[in-house]
Chains A and B, each alone.
Chain A
Amino acid sequence: MEHFLEQVLNGLQLGLMYALIALGYTMVYGVVQLINFAHGDVFMVGAFLGYFGFAVWGLPLPVAILTAMVACALLGVIIERVAYRPLRYAPKIAALISAIGVSLFLEYFSSLKFVFGPNYRVVPRPFPEVHWNIAGLSVSNIQVIVFVVVLFMLILLQILIYRTKTGMAMRTVAVDHNAARLMGVNVDTTISITFAIGSAFAALGGVLYAIAYPQIHPFMGIMPGLKAFTAAVLGGIGIIPGAVLGALIMGQVETLTSAYISSQMRDAIAFAILILVLLFRPTGLLGRTETEKV
């Protein structure tokens, strides 16, 4: 039993890591209905900037994280301006292809020698790791920090979207650009803000991820990005709490599968479960059934 609980705790940590990325992913999707494949790579850039901040330039950790977040927010806005805005009224798929292009660009450009370089870097711990023993389970301070940050992000996003003017503008833009414009919403600014916040969260996630799994390289964003996106879809993409729910479920499924069924078949079983869930809930666990356009 204790063993089982420990595995659940492992799954929780993994799930929270996915949630960290999935939240930004799903928020951007919610507003612009674009699968932003470059999100995982912004996450990578954030991890690198955070690493340079506290390990190379010697900034205090909070300053390093803040720097990474600001820089990535800027990066997100630039990406949107350059690669997505010209395609806003084109078929949705065009923006998706552009996102794939941006993602490849960030990966290959970062791995050039004068940028981040292609090698794997070991990230030193910015603070000593502490383990607490609670009822036979070992909990580390990093796990607690990640948990708190995810909770903080979730609450912040909910407040932002449902309690502020900007949030209202975002929700309006999500429904209909033209109607939003008629209502006096500045669509361009709103979308820029969305990307800025989403990318800043990606950077925050990236730094924490690099602290928890202390290794970074230019292609590190692909898999966590994909898994986080899958988690967001599982929870119902575009829905903020859905991203956390989906991520936690993904984490448990992956961990429990590799602990009790087969570590070889883990990904296959995790995705089979995803497909099954989608068959019964075609718009994800918390997704609303879409009204059909006739």
Chain B
Amino acid sequence: MRKKFWSILLVVLLSLALVVTGCGGQGKTETQGASGEKVIKIGFIAPLTGDVKTFGESAQKGFDLALEQAGYKAGDFKIEPVKADDRNDATEAVNVATKLITQDGVKAIVGSLTSLTTIPISKFANDNKVVLITGTATSPKVTVDEGKRKEYIFRACFIDPTQGTVAAKFALEELKLKTAAILYDQGNDYTIGLANNFKEAFTAGGGQVLTMEAYAKNDTDFSAVLTNIAKKNPDILYLPDYYQKVSLIGKQARDKGIKAVFIGGDGWDSSDLDYKTMEGGYFTNHYSAQDPRPEVQNWVKQFKEKYGQEPDAFATLTYDATNLLLNAIKTANSDDPAKIKEALQNTKDFSIVSGEKVSFDENGNPIKPVTILKIEGGKQKFVTAIKPN
């Protein structure tokens, strides 16, 4: 009986301790906000642990550099970043978003990385009237769900349909290729979205999609489907996945004797792409590193100086998202999310790395051209820029 008493007591004490830690955290943040200078807190959510940690860290580098360049200031406000990890898990993402919004009192959030985590937190942020801008979550559902615009939510990247459609048009009209095979990750809505829209636009434009095959997230052997694709001998192999997977598939495809032109999306943009294998391939992207615009040159140069590597798409888009947000805070010169939201929606002719004179459409998606790059001689080469629609 006695032992049981102690165990009950322990449980009660533990739960109390937990609650107290929680409240302690809250109390602290309030006192910080009360210091003389005007402070606005910005949350940052990304997978900083787990199997896509490397993408999350890229995004974090973009976020850090943007704040650093702005001197942690926007208008009259001092910026205080609050970073959190979602492990690319929908449940954890909701938990950290709740923590950032209700406990740390952030007024705006940059993140998260994938649609899987951004869709649930965008709903929560919108319900709580906190501005959220994601660099990289491409699903249309992030800003518009069930036909309703979440008006506090924005993004810096294209939505899924844009890239697939542009890639299909480019392949048909510029490359004059007529048949395609598509290979996509059936567990990842980014690649599914690009694949489906490519197929739709390619077929509508008179091309023929010979086959559409899927694989799972952790696959490393694609020989079975690639053998089938080799037999059909398509002109194009559309590979809308991230750089690391595409490099693996590309290698095996060439081994299987597939001569098709590889085409892909912004997931390719990384110095870790296997350039030798992907030689001759094209991909849709947000910008070209050779673009002489100062925004682009500054970004590439400073990123290299600070981190000793080339920025990838995750870093670039998060950098852009952060800058869009900082600009909106400056314009509104207020920490009221409603005003920041207005300013963001009314962004006019603001230049970011991934586009000149960017503004938002009614769904919170940026209006900017799609750049098409070619892998040539182990480098990315600018081909053309296409305005969608």
Contact with B along A103-130 (1 / 0, CB 8 A): 0000110010000011111100000010
Residues from chain B with Cβ under 8 Å of A222 in the complex: 51, 218
Residue contact A119 to B186, C-beta cutoff 8 Å: no
For B215, give the chain A residue with the smallest CB separation.
A263
A-B contact count (CB 8 A): 81
- A17-B221, A111-B49, A111-B53 given; 19 more Cβ-contact pairs under 8 Å: A3-B231, A14-B223, A107-B51, A117-B54, A119-B54, A120-B244, A121-B272, A122-B274, A215-B220, A215-B244, A215-B247, A217-B54, A220-B220, A222-B51, A224-B220, A254-B224, A256-B224, A263-B214, A263-B224
Residues from chain A with Cβ under 8 Å of B186 in the complex: 264
Residue contact B49 to A263, C-beta cutoff 8 Å: no
Which chain B residues have a beta carbon within 8 Å of chain A's beta carbons? Answer: 49-51, 53-54, 57, 186, 213-216, 218-221, 223-225, 227-228, 231, 243-244, 247-248, 251, 255, 257, 272, 274
Q: Is A186 an interface residue (CB 8 A)?
A: no
Instruction: Pick from B214, B228, B247: contact of A259, CB below 8 A.
Output: B228
User: Chain A: interface residue count, which band?
Assistant: 35 or more
What's the Cα separation between A174 and B138 when bound, in Å?
Answer: 53
| B246 → A minimal CB distance (Å) | 11
Residue contact A3 to B255, C-beta cutoff 8 Å: no
Contact with B along A244-257 (1 / 0, CB 8 A): 00000000001110
For A129, give the chain B residue with the smallest CB separation.
B255
Instruction: Pick from A11, A214, A218: contact of B224, CB below 8 A.
Output: A11
Residues from chain A with Cβ under 8 Å of B50 in the complex: 219
What's the Cα separation between A210 and B104 when bound, in Å?
Answer: 44
Residue contact A259 to B244, C-beta cutoff 8 Å: no
16 A-B pairs (CB sep. < 8 Å): A10-B221, A17-B221, A111-B49, A118-B54, A119-B54, A120-B54, A120-B272, A122-B274, A140-B255, A215-B244, A254-B224, A255-B223, A258-B215, A259-B228, A263-B225, A264-B186
What's the Cα separation between A89 and B315 when bound, in Å?
Answer: 50
Residue contact A10 to B224, C-beta cutoff 8 Å: yes
What's the Cα separation between A129 and B186 when bound, in Å?
Answer: 31
Q: Is A6 an interface residue (CB 8 A)?
A: yes
For B218, give the chain A residue with the smallest CB separation.
A223
Given contacts A120-B272, A122-B247, contact A259 B53 (CB under 8 A): no
Residues from chain A with Cβ under 8 Å of B228 in the complex: 259
Instruction: Pick from B57, B213, B223, B243: contact of A13, CB below 8 A.
Output: B223
Q: Is A162 an interface residue (CB 8 A)?
A: no
Residues from chain A with Cβ under 8 Å of B219 in the complex: 223
What's the Cα separation between A217 and B57 when bound, in Å?
Answer: 15
Residues from chain A with Cβ under 8 Å of B274 in the complex: 122
For A11, give the chain B residue with the smallest CB separation.
B224
Residues from chain B with Cβ under 8 Å of A7 in the complex: 224, 227
Q: Is A152 an interface residue (CB 8 A)?
A: no
Q: Is A188 an interface residue (CB 8 A)?
A: no
Which chain A residues have a beta carbon within 8 Å of chain B's beta carbons? Answer: 3, 6-7, 10-11, 13-14, 17, 107-108, 111, 117-122, 129, 131, 138, 140, 209, 213-215, 217-220, 222-224, 254-256, 258-259, 263-264, 266-267
For B223, give the chain A residue with the smallest CB separation.
A10
Question: Among A10, A111, A118, which residue has the most Cβ atoms of chain B within 10 A?
Answer: A118
Instruction: Pick from A214, A266, A267: contact of B248, CB below 8 A.
Output: A214
| B240 → A minimal CB distance (Å) | 16
What's the Cα separation between A266 and B53 when bound, in Å?
Answer: 28
What's the Cα separation between A119 and B247 when bound, in Å?
Answer: 14
For A18, give the chain B residue with the smallest CB separation.
B221
Residue contact A122 to B54, C-beta cutoff 8 Å: no
Given contacts A120-B244, A120-B272, A219-B51, contact A267 B224 (CB under 8 A): no
For A108, give the chain B residue with the smallest CB separation.
B49
Instruction: Pick from B49, B225, B243: contact of A258, CB below 8 A.
Output: B225
Q: Which 5 pairs, one residue from A and one from B, show the smallest C-beta to C-beta distance? A: A223-B218, A120-B244, A10-B223, A219-B51, A118-B53
| B185 → A minimal CB distance (Å) | 11
What's the Cα separation between A32 and B49 when bound, in Å?
Answer: 32
What's the Cα separation between A76 and B364 when bound, in Å?
Answer: 52
Residue contact A258 to B54, C-beta cutoff 8 Å: no
| B226 → A minimal CB distance (Å) | 9
For A13, give the chain B residue with the smallest CB separation.
B223
Instruction: Pick from A117, A129, A215, A259: contact of B227, CB below 8 A.
Output: A259
Residues from chain B with Cβ under 8 Å of A122 in the complex: 247, 272, 274
Instruction: Pick from B223, B227, B248, B272: contact of A119, CB below 8 A.
Output: B272
What's the Cα separation between A14 and B255 when bound, in Å?
Answer: 15
| B179 → A minimal CB distance (Å) | 19
What's the Cα separation between A266 and B186 when bound, in Å?
Answer: 11
| B68 → A minimal CB distance (Å) | 19
Given contacts A119-B272, A122-B272, A214-B251, contact A14 B221 (CB under 8 A): yes
Residues from chain B with Cβ under 8 Å of A140 in the complex: 255
For A264, give the chain B residue with the smallest CB separation.
B214
Residues from chain A with Cβ under 8 Å of B227 in the complex: 3, 6-7, 10, 259
Residues from chain B with Cβ under 8 Å of A13 in the complex: 221, 223
Question: Among B57, B213, B216, B223, which residue has the most Cβ atoms of chain A within 10 A?
Answer: B223
What's the Cα separation between A172 and B161 when bound, in Å?
Answer: 63
Residue contact B49 to A267, C-beta cutoff 8 Å: no
What's the Cα separation between A219 and B49 when bound, in Å?
Answer: 11
| A40 → B minimal CB distance (Å) | 11
Residues from chain A with Cβ under 8 Å of B224 in the complex: 7, 10-11, 254-256, 258-259, 263
